[in-house]
Amino acid sequence: MLILPGWLIVASDTPPRQGWGLRVTASRVTDVGPADALIAAYPDEDQMNASESICLPGFVNTHVHLYGVLAHGIDVHQPPDGFASFLEEYWWPQIEDVLDQPMIEAATDWVCSEMLRSGTTTFFDILEAPHAIPDVLLVEKQIVEKRGLRGLLSFEATERAGAQIAQDGLRENVELISACDTDGLVSGLMSYHTTFTCSGEFIRQAFGLAADLGVLTHAHANESHFEAEWCQTTYGRSTFEYYDDLGVAGPEFLASQCVQLSEADRTIIADRGIRVSHMPLSNCEVGGGIAPISELLDAGVTLGLGSDGYINDFYEVMRGAFLLAKARRLDPGVMPATTVLNLATEGGARALGLAKVGRLDIGWSADLQLVDATFPTPLTEHNIFDQLVLWRSHRDVSDVMVAGRWRVRRGEVLDADLDQMRARTHEEANRLWSH
Ligand SMILES: [Zn+2]
């Protein structure tokens, strides 16, 4: 089919084109050009006219916790006064240790729909629910396949809940990865929690299993000062110096958060090619700080954006990345909208190791969104990235396609009974909250 929007954004590093469209065949973009030329070249193709819309790549959320939605608005028993107490007195006992499969099932279905509705077509989920294994990732896989997103799933193995559960967590990842078709939309990554919940031996085991399976390994790293200080006290070196000594610092490592980094940490991340996922909004939530993202980008680090399961509307996540970097550096010139959009699309796909995802060039996956192009001020080639990043939200997304299939049309998630899904999530949240 031909998709003929008012404006086409192929990628953040190419000029926006007014009156251009693209051709989609099966799951891929097969031509890009002026609408007239496309209609002349393919007169028999179905046409979707969207002259009041901007067509751009779908978002890539490089870090989400689907179950996180169940904690939205929860009454925290013991308000945390630091990062360690956030985990030890709230997040672990009140959320992660209580989660079971029906809760995760409901949250997965709801958040997949919520992400689709806000233009997200690809995500990486990290599930930490020590008492919900085995086979909880297979439950997630079925739901993600039904919703039709491109999903990378993982179970965050941790030794904090005991050696057996830790090993079961690694096995959960291995089994999911082995169960995924190479050409399917769902795949898996290896994942463990942090240096303060996993031993060096366990971390090496995780990386070893991932290497055998040919996948990346993910961990949370230095989300606040806590882990940096813990590594210094326990191992006499910084977190990434420790990782370097373990022999796991390399391009197979996807490190999320990376908020509080020493000079040595930044150098190791850049020199070893470690990939980074940046969560501007949730870093604020836990009092972690503001990550040195513009510095990491200047050093050539492969980087994507994530919601952390906190605020999943990717337009809000982009605004967080855009504004917080400027405030941190006291410089309105850092982190322009083009950079932010790159991180939200192609940059994120690269951070997750995905090929041909995140651009709308010929041969790339047809993962796209149509966004309302009617602004109160003129839309031009020079301001379109700012207009999108600063003044659009999920409410402006009308249509979303993943791998050549429409998943949202005219603002409605297809084949989804949102009222029923909301009621079910509500019920599961009540069960979690009453624990
Ligand atoms: Zn996280």
- Helix or strand holding residue 407 (H, E): strand 405-409
Can you read off the two tokens belonging to residue 2?
A: 């031909």
Dump pLDDT digits (tens) for 313-352: 999 999 999 999 999 999 999 999 999 999 999 999 999 9
Return the minimum-mean-pLDDT range out of 9-23, 82-96, 345-359, 390-404. 82-96
Q: Cα(374) to centroid of ligand 1, in Å? A: 35
Residue 177 CA to its chain's centroid (Å): 18
The answer to the question of residue 433 being in a domain is no
Dump pLDDT digits (tens) for 37-68: 999 999 999 999 999 999 999 999 999 999 99
Q: Cα(63) to centroid of ligand 1, in Å? A: 6
Whether 287 and 374 share a structural domain = no
Give the model's pLDDT for residue 80: 84
The answer to the question of residue 284 being in a domain is yes
Residue ranges making up the domain that contains 193? 59-351
Task: Write down the pTM of the prediction.
Answer: 0.97
Whether 170 and 213 share a structural domain = yes
Q: Cα(5) to centroid of ligand 1, in Å? A: 36
The answer to the question of residue 357 being in a domain is no
Give the model's pLDDT for residue 163: 95
Burial state string for 108-139 with b = 16 or more CB within 10 A and e = fewer than 16:
bbbbbbbbbbbbbbbbbbbbbbbebbeebbee
Q: Cα torsion at 59, 60, 65, 69 (round to 10°)?
A: 0
Compute the half-sphere exposure of residue 99: CA atoms within 13 Å on the CB side of its CA.
27
- Residue 267's identity, in one-letter code, is T
Sorting pLDDT into bands at 50, 70 and 90, what band is 183?
A: confident
Pairing of the two strands 17-18 and 2-8: antiparallel
Q: Cα(277) to centroid of ligand 1, in Å? A: 10
Classify residue 92 by its DSSP letter: I
Q: Cα(90) to centroid of ligand 1, in Å? A: 15
The answer to the question of residue 424 being in a domain is no
Ramachandran angles phi, psi of 141, nearest 5°: -55, -45
Q: Cα(405) to centroid of ligand 1, in Å? A: 29
Residue 90 has pLDDT above 80, yes or no: yes
Whether 395 and 263 share a structural domain = no
Whether 340 and 369 share a structural domain = no
Whether 44 and 68 share a structural domain = no
The answer to the question of residue 321 being in a domain is yes
Instruction: Indicate the number of domains in the chain.
Output: 2
Contacts of 12 (CB under 8 A, 6+ apart): 338, 339, 341, 342, 345, 346, 385
Whether 370 and 282 share a structural domain = no
Q: Token pair 């990939």 is at which residue?
A: 275
Whether 38 and 72 share a structural domain = no
